[in-house]
Chains A and B, each alone.
Chain A
Amino acid sequence: MPRYLLIESRDPYDSNDTGFCRDLATQLAAEKNEVTLFLVQNGVLPARSGARSGDLTKLAGSGVRVLADSFSLKERGIDEKRLAAGIAAAPLDVVLDALAEGAKVIWH
């Protein structure tokens, strides 16, 4: 099964194109690909349970693994225990593992 890792570094409060990764992830998962969305830098801001986290929770429910970079969370004072449903904290090693294992990795 083809593997994809989409890296989202942008947040919906500052950028109006964060739907790109969500839409692409949804389509790839619907076509039976293994898909991970990795949030990094300000991309972790909507991982907080709140007004903008619903799209990510919905994405996780569609079969996409949604992860938030632990370092980026800590930099922004976001408690890993307060992430929205379906989102887990993970180290940046996830990206390097995906690269090493030959996944298609796309930065946004």
Chain B
Amino acid sequence: MADKKTITIAIMDAPYESGRSTTTLRLIDLAAKRGYNINVFAYEGAVLQPFSAQKPHPNTVHGRSVEEENHFIPKDAIASLMQAAEKNGGKIDWVNCGLCVDERGAVDAIPGVRRGSPADFWTMAEASDNTLVIATR
């Protein structure tokens, strides 16, 4: 693909805490649909985005079962995005900051996520067409 691009995105927000997580996943989704290569550097609480122990839950207050609640699970969304990127000829390289992982006990991530450091962010940014840092407030 002649116009295939590589984009790096850095995120710092933990799941369920900010609209920034939603916007980040929307951007990755668009890039995956275009067949771009997408590098993601997850820093601080964002290392919990692909945490494999996430589980859906029922909503007992409103009397809804797990299926009815259909709770959004970030790690499943990320896994789907990885599949979509590959299907469209691209790839998502998701790097979790190792020290951030250790601090939070978030060692178990979904397949396709690797451990790294801010040096990986630098390397990915250097090799990309462009980089977007989505910082916390």
Contact = CB atoms under 8 A, between A and B. Distances in A.
A92 B19 contact: no
A85 interface: no
Interface stretch (A25-33, A55-63, A100-108): A100-108
A105 B130 contact: yes
A96 B34 contact: yes
A42 B20 CA distance: 10
Contact of B132 (A41, A71, A107): A107
Nearest to B7: A99
Contacts of B137: 10, 15
Contact of B27 (A10, A95, A103): A95
Interface in B32-74: 34, 36
B80 interface: no
A7 to B, nearest CB: 8
Interface residues of B, number: 20
Interface residues of A, number: 17
Given A9-B19, A9-B23, A107-B134, A92 B129 contact: no
Given A71-B26, A105-B132, A100 B7 contact: yes
Contact of A96 (B19, B22, B30, B135): B30
Contacts of B26: 71, 92
A15 B137 CA distance: 10
Contact of B31 (A15, A40, A96, A103): A96
Please give me the 8 A-B residue pairs with the lowest Cβ-Cβ distance, nearest first: A41-B19, A99-B130, A100-B5, A96-B30, A107-B134, A99-B7, A105-B132, A92-B26
Given A9-B20, A96-B7, 19 more contacts: A9-B19, A41-B22, A41-B23, A92-B26, A92-B30, A96-B30, A96-B31, A99-B130, A99-B132, A100-B5, A100-B7, A100-B34, A100-B129, A100-B130, A102-B129, A103-B130, A105-B132, A107-B134, A107-B135
